[in-house]
Structure 1
Amino acid sequence: MKNSTGNNKSSPRLMNPESEFDMNTEFGLPGNATRRVMFALDIARECSDAFSNPKIEAILREALNRIWLKLLTIRSYVMTRNEFAVFNFFQDLNLDSTMAEIATRARAIYWDQTYGNSQG
């Protein structure tokens, strides 16, 4: 996916792990923030130039950074449905091989835990 400047989305920049973060909440944010993230995601899905709005971009990138922090902290972390939606929205990020492997594993864990192992 391309951003408003026409460039491919860059690799995720991880947030400062010392900032306020709650592993037990969706996106590691206070509960009421989930609505804001999902509203921003809806706008980004519907509007091709949504990333020209710095608030939309900041909300979604912060949510993505917090998802990555969970995935890097807990190897078997199962994303919530909303986290997976945001993570999947950014599926075209340029990732190095290690991060790509983590992303692939995270998607597989989500699908297996949500819909069961289809091999089974």
Structure 2
Amino acid sequence: MGGNADYIDGYGYTSLQRALEIARNSEGGVDQAITAFLERKLGELWARLQAQPNTYVLTKDEFALFNYYRQRFGNSEIATSAIKRFWDNYQGS
């Protein structure tokens, strides 16, 4: 039933893009359920990047998530390389 979506209490089945949209448009703070979902997805993504720091190419959704939290990674070489690889491989939609 969920497909590429996870169940988030209070939101039902929610895709990563939808969760990011909710977070970006939240006034007065982001709901904890959305924050927890995004943090979990970010942790999973960061683990993939650390496992393949020179080869992993972000998907469009992963790039959007990573960009939302970009400041957290400062001048990390892994982060900078991942962003460069994304743009080097981006095909548009």
**Residue type at the aligned position of 2:86:** Y
* Uncovered stretches (5+) of structure 2, i.e. residues with no partner: 7-12
What do the CA deviations read for 1:5-43 (whole angstroms, capped 9, x no partner)?
xxxxxxxxxxxxxxxxxxxxxxxxx73339432211001
Report percent identity of matched pairs: 32
TM-score by length of 1: 0.60
Structure 1 unaligned blocks of 5 or more: 1-29, 116-120
SS, match of residue 111 in structure 1: helix
Deviations 1:46-91 (A, max 9, x none): 124342x110100100111111011001121001000000000001
Give secondary structure in 1 for the equivalent of 2:56: coil
Task: Give the aligned partner of residue 14 of structure 1.
Answer: none
Aligned-residue RMSD, C-alpha: 2.1
Higher relative contact order (CA 8 A, sep 6+): 1
**Corresponding letter in the other structure for 1:59:** F
**How far apart are the structure 1 equivalents of 2:5 and 2:72?**
27
CA–CA separation in structure 2 for the residues paired with 1:32 and 1:66: 15
Alignment match, 1:58: 36
Aligned length: 82
Distance, in Å, in 2 between the alignment partners of 1:77 and 1:85 is 15
